[in-house]
Amino acid sequence: MKFLTHLLLVGSLFIVSNINAQQTITATVVNVISDQGKVSFALYSKDNFLQKPLQASASIIKEGKSVVVFKNIPEGNYAVVCFHDQNNNNKMDFQSNGMPTEDYGVSTNNLNPYGPPIFNDTKFMVSDKDVSLEIKF
């Protein structure tokens, strides 16, 4: 009987730990045109898209690649938006007509040709496995 009680307790703990499992998202930009500056990444949910990110990080560029890892991400739909901050001013620069002067990308590589990214075009699902994204500018 003691063995059965112990087995039930261990099984319950396993189920609870899987319910609360959180994953990592590794985002890699693979085609940065120069190693000058950095790439800034932002992780969003639908509720905060293009506002204050859930997590943000910047990464150096080495041989045209830049990588960040977002940790402790619960299940759900997310989007990553990133840009090449060539001049290290910590913001995306734009022309007077509103067109960006620095390269940018999104998690699905599905850029909106008519304006800023759209959440439904850039979202991906985090479930029970870690996620790796290959983003192209």
Residue closest to 129 by CA, chosen among 75, 78, 62: 75
Round to whole Å and give the CA distance between 122 and 132.
Answer: 14
Round to whole Å and give the CA distance between 14 and 131.
Answer: 22
Q: What's the start-to-end Cα distance of the chain, in Å?
A: 61
Each residue of 56-85: pLDDT tens digit? 999 999 999 999 999 999 999 999 999 999
pTM to 2 decimal places: 0.84
Per-residue pLDDT band for 21 (boundaries 50, 70, 90) equals confident
User: Which residues, at least 6 apart from 57, have a Cβ–Cβ distance to it below 8 Å?
Assistant: 40, 41, 68, 69, 70
pLDDT of residue 20: 61
